[in-house]
Chain A
């Protein structure tokens, strides 16, 4: 057994780094420390005892007996004939449906109310895969990981399936009766006892329904609470401009970017667009060098910070002082040339401000969604001083029709409930019992309400405290509409009838109003008909639904003036000691996606943790507090306590602890229950995102976390190649000089000839932002199974594509590189040679085909693969029984069974389909006609796939770049997947210092 407790010697880490010569990449602190346990783990293809049944007490002898018997039975089983199957055609076949051909429908994925336009693939009425909508401004054809995983939420067997009253099943009519009775009692009072609580809503039709309802009950109130909402943005707009405004940025025209604790590339509803625009200014092709310069100041290490040319870890509370220093320097630089800043980061700020001042109108300062109001106001002031407003910074009217401060709104509701003013509470879509601030005592106050109604996808923590629970329809099951970051409206259409008799919020509100039996379709269409009366409405409607965007609905840019005196002098940092930082989880968000297995098993950016959250601390803080990875600690903050495991995150700010929200759910479902700890228990309304005064006490025990960061190590080989733009300018061949490529003739075997297509892939490490969308896209497209936490710990996660994270330099503030790693599809493939049954063989187009039905599970191929991209089904990981999950599967890809090896196929099903279509039209494939799932979803177009025999294809051109290199080229595997070295554009003034 590997040692359960591995002491991480941080002194050894520093010693190792001190002795190394120049460029040295590393993946984990354990590797740097060269600890004994880590070396032992590396020695093995699979962890110790991985092939054993650890939970089996019977032992080897019994195992052999059972195996013998099952072998005999299996032999007999093979003699049975294929079972007779039935086939059931339509009775009346819909006109557009061609069995075997998917259809695509435009809709939008709303997260916290804000939409990303998508096209959803439907196989005979079953939505199976989400793709971006190229015409939608927030998507441009790509999506994020959450949108990719949303299709699994739809089929989740744990979703609530029945309408209940005190746990008993009731029909909809019975609910209507009860609701009507309560509402009738409210009419004389004007609805004074009636309250609605929703999440953030941008839907114009739903807002219209609310307005109609509130007109009937003028004393009723509509509250909004979004646990990870944009409070600071709204509050800052009120402070700076005296009115609520929505802010977004045009990064495609930004030469210099400063992020103030903002993870704009990977978090939030605009991240896909921002990543695309950002990457468009971070590309080096031949002599064409278009590189913006990006500075990031952040507390928690994020993928956005990893992409920065200069990254400065500071505590979240100190960001305000930093921003104030920048603001005063910028203001001064406009007035009287240059003025030197003071403080710990003076040199950094001086160089930064000089850079910003040289790019007036083409620079941008982005405050973090989870920063303070003051930082947002300062960012407005700096952007105004730099003349960026209207150029890289755009202000519009707010997206929410009901722009309220979430905490104030919830506080008011709480007070009303406490005062006994609320008689009927309707919670539509939220989960306040789980995620309301700890100081509100929301649950106790809610119990004072006589009638409590909860509508939600799941029978969750909140529905437990409500008499009525109504299953909600998933957004793929119903009609609605929503706005994107710039105001563009998408009319959302359903892809399937509600699987579990869910109802939409539209339907419930209609039932409370005058039209109890109106369908969501009639409601949404009726609303839009009122906006667009006229004879051409039908055509207009069809086009708007078809395109997935309502034309001309982007909100116009607005001119707002910064109020004098809006910028207040920075407050001294409150409280002493260690700071706690709250962030929504990168994958399960505020907890609403906690029951999604794809998102739970998706390794989180940088930490690579799966299935849990952790208290993240910097290496120096860990050293000072004598903390190790996986140490259980008690976090005590303002008298509230929670027990959490520690994870040391290189690059985290010192004296600061980050906890992610969204875990520790008790009624999420079978996947999300009991995963992680509940950070909401520490979160109060006056410090929603960070606060000082955290006490950490070691609990004395360990908690095992499943992180994939140490799986498959590089063993000191040169895998990532990086450099600076300056180096590239001086010597464009620097990559080729470092990567050693043996001559083609070196192989003993004769080479293959590729006469038709030759598929290849180029991955640009400068563009990749590590957002993980590709990993989930691959999972959805290729029916990849979820294995669970204990299997992930045994290095058995099945993802065909992983994103390896490499660091360089000191663990206090390392450079970070992301490397998506699919199968390399080697031309001299080591896997093919060792298969005793020819289950993996070379295709005429250069793919390493994997034939599941031939595979006997020797695992020789995985052993011989230098890139470690092969995945073995140690158990029956795919769910072959749950009916709803079967509906999600891509019918063009086999669902694998136990004992079978699998790996990335370059989405051969897509290649096949496209080739057949081209052949039927008697033509060859055009470049870009086949897109792999990972390529299609990538916001930054970091992954490019195509025919390398066609010299005009994008992939062939990328492979001809000087930056292109093969991984482990010295092995002469001649991989078809190659990489473009990562380039940075550091400021020479800071670099020197």
Chain B
């Protein structure tokens, strides 16, 4: 009876057994990279919107406070997307004929909502509350980035759980004085950790990492 497998098969099998580890390792690494990539998280990718609203212009240029539009950020879990009426407060007077703003005027006329693309979209099993973060000295830009430099809105951070936990485990690395929460130009001082520890004590910030803090 002749041999079924050639001698070279031995080498091949040794390589594949030994190399299998690397292949599996590579796959795990690739999966983790993909998962954290901006492709998967959509971080740093400007979202298409029916009206190309520019935070750069309105916040950076005109200096409108965050809370003029995001009215419930201090009271509710949801910061609120402004109603068309808020846009029209100014745009009945200025740029009231701009073609770009037609969807807003149309919404106001027909009483139909504008369908914005959701930029910061947490999974449905995550319950995030804006008001408590703002009340405890977490600045808008800490999570949302320099919105005053975003011509179209994008998601600055991954919004993955590991990113949330970075701060929940060590809040002192990120908190700022309450007076600076809505400032878009605030830069953390070089002694952030020292200031952070002081603020954590002063604001009674807890490091909440129980599952039910966010999941329920």
Interface residues of A (CB under 8 A from B): 79, 81-82, 84-93, 98-101, 756, 841-845, 847, 849-854, 892-895, 905, 908-909, 912, 916, 919-920, 922
Closest 3 CB pairs of A and B: A100-B78, A843-B210, A100-B76
Contact size class for B? 35 or more
Residue numbers in B under 8 Å from A920 (CB-CB): 131-132, 135
Is there a chain A Cβ closer than 8 Å to B32's Cβ? no
Q: A81-B42, A82-B121, A844-B208 are in contact. Are A91 and B111 (CB under 8 A)?
A: yes
Q: Are A756 and B121 in contact (CB under 8 A)?
A: no
Q: Are A892 and B216 in contact (CB under 8 A)?
A: yes
Residue numbers in B under 8 Å from A916 (CB-CB): 129, 131-132
Chain A to chain B contacts (Cβ below 8 Å), 15 pairs: A82-B42, A82-B123, A88-B113, A90-B85, A90-B113, A91-B113, A98-B80, A99-B80, A100-B72, A101-B75, A756-B206, A849-B212, A850-B211, A905-B212, A908-B212
Q: Are A85 and B115 in contact (CB under 8 A)?
A: no
Residue numbers in B under 8 Å from A81 (CB-CB): 39-40, 42
A841 to B215, CA, bound (A): 12
Q: Are A89 and B113 in contact (CB under 8 A)?
A: yes
Residue numbers in A under 8 Å from B83 (CB-CB): 89-93
Expressed in whole angstroms, the minimum distance between the Cβ of B83 and any Cβ of chain A is: 4
Q: Which of B185-216 contact A (CB under 8 A)?
A: 204, 206, 208-213, 215-216
Q: Are B116 and A88 in contact (CB under 8 A)?
A: yes
Is there a chain A Cβ closer than 8 Å to B23's Cβ? no
Is there a chain A Cβ closer than 8 Å to B114's Cβ? yes
A85 to B40, CA, bound (A): 15
Q: Which of A85, A91, A98, A850 has the most CB of B within 10 A?
A: A91
Q: A91-B85, A916-B129, A920-B131 are in contact. Are A86 and B116 (CB under 8 A)?
A: yes
Q: Which of A86, A852, A892 has the most CB of B within 10 A?
A: A86
Is there a chain A Cβ closer than 8 Å to B170's Cβ? no
A845 to B208, CA, bound (A): 11
Is there a chain A Cβ closer than 8 Å to B54's Cβ? no
Q: Are B212 and A853 in contact (CB under 8 A)?
A: no
Q: Are A894 and B212 in contact (CB under 8 A)?
A: no
Q: Which of B108-152 contact A (CB under 8 A)?
A: 108, 111-118, 121, 123-125, 127, 129, 131-132, 135-136
Q: Are A849 and B118 in contact (CB under 8 A)?
A: no
Q: Are B125 and A853 in contact (CB under 8 A)?
A: yes
A342 to B107, CA, bound (A): 83
B215 partner, pick from A89, A842, A852, beta carbons under 8 A:
A852
Expressed in whole angstroms, the minimum distance between the Cβ of A70 and any Cβ of chain B is: 20
Give 15 new A-B contacts, CB below 8 A, not counting A89-B83, A893-B216, A905-B216.
A88-B115, A89-B116, A90-B85, A93-B85, A841-B210, A843-B212, A849-B212, A854-B211, A894-B124, A895-B124, A905-B212, A909-B216, A916-B131, A920-B131, A920-B132
Expressed in whole angstroms, the minimum distance between the Cβ of A933 and any Cβ of chain B is: 13
Q: Are A851 and B211 in contact (CB under 8 A)?
A: yes
Expressed in whole angstroms, the minimum distance between the Cβ of B92 and any Cβ of chain A is: 13
Expressed in whole angstroms, the minimum distance between the Cβ of A91 and any Cβ of chain B is: 5
A756 to B206, CA, bound (A): 10
A640 to B29, CA, bound (A): 76
A852 to B125, CA, bound (A): 8
A98 partner, pick from B42, B75, B81, B113, beta carbons under 8 A:
B75
Is there a chain A Cβ closer than 8 Å to B157's Cβ? no
A843 to B204, CA, bound (A): 19
Q: Are A84 and B118 in contact (CB under 8 A)?
A: yes
Interface SS majority for chain A: loop
Q: Are A853 and B76 in contact (CB under 8 A)?
A: no
A920 to B133, CA, bound (A): 9
Chain B residue with the shortest CB-CB distance to A91:
B84
Is there a chain A Cβ closer than 8 Å to B16's Cβ? no
A86 partner, pick from B42, B82, B118, beta carbons under 8 A:
B118
A102 to B108, CA, bound (A): 26
Residue numbers in A under 8 Å from B215 (CB-CB): 849, 851-853, 894
Q: A89-B83, A847-B212 are in contact. Are A101 and B72 (CB under 8 A)?
A: yes
Chain A residue with the shortest CB-CB distance to B203:
A922
A90 to B72, CA, bound (A): 14
Chain B residue with the shortest CB-CB distance to A911:
B212
Chain B residue with the shortest CB-CB distance to A922:
B204
Is there a chain A Cβ closer than 8 Å to B77's Cβ? yes
Q: Are B125 and A912 in contact (CB under 8 A)?
A: no
Expressed in whole angstroms, the minimum distance between the Cβ of B135 and any Cβ of chain A is: 5
Q: Are A91 and B76 in contact (CB under 8 A)?
A: no
A425 to B216, CA, bound (A): 52
Chain A residue with the shortest CB-CB distance to B120:
A87
Residue numbers in B under 8 Å from A854 (CB-CB): 211
Chain B residue with the shortest CB-CB distance to A919:
B132
A98 to B211, CA, bound (A): 27
Q: Are B77 and A100 in contact (CB under 8 A)?
A: yes
Q: Are B81 and A89 in contact (CB under 8 A)?
A: yes
Residue numbers in B under 8 Å from A912 (CB-CB): 127, 129, 212-213, 216
A916 to B80, CA, bound (A): 18
Residue numbers in A under 8 Å from B34 (CB-CB): 79
Chain B residue with the shortest CB-CB distance to A86:
B115
A79 to B135, CA, bound (A): 37
Q: Are B114 and A89 in contact (CB under 8 A)?
A: yes
Expressed in whole angstroms, the minimum distance between the Cβ of B90 and any Cβ of chain A is: 16
Q: Are A101 and B117 in contact (CB under 8 A)?
A: no
A584 to B116, CA, bound (A): 52
Residue numbers in B under 8 Å from A85 (CB-CB): 117-118, 121
Residue numbers in B under 8 Å from A893 (CB-CB): 216
Q: Are B72 and A99 in contact (CB under 8 A)?
A: yes
A631 to B113, CA, bound (A): 59
A912 to B206, CA, bound (A): 14
Residue numbers in A under 8 Å from B204 (CB-CB): 919, 922
Q: Are A98 and B210 in contact (CB under 8 A)?
A: no
Q: Are A894 and B125 in contact (CB under 8 A)?
A: yes
A381 to B116, CA, bound (A): 72
Expressed in whole angstroms, the minimum distance between the Cβ of A866 and any Cβ of chain B is: 22
Expressed in whole angstroms, the minimum distance between the Cβ of A203 and any Cβ of chain B is: 34
Expressed in whole angstroms, the minimum distance between the Cβ of B107 and any Cβ of chain A is: 6
Expressed in whole angstroms, the minimum distance between the Cβ of B175 and any Cβ of chain A is: 14
A466 to B107, CA, bound (A): 44
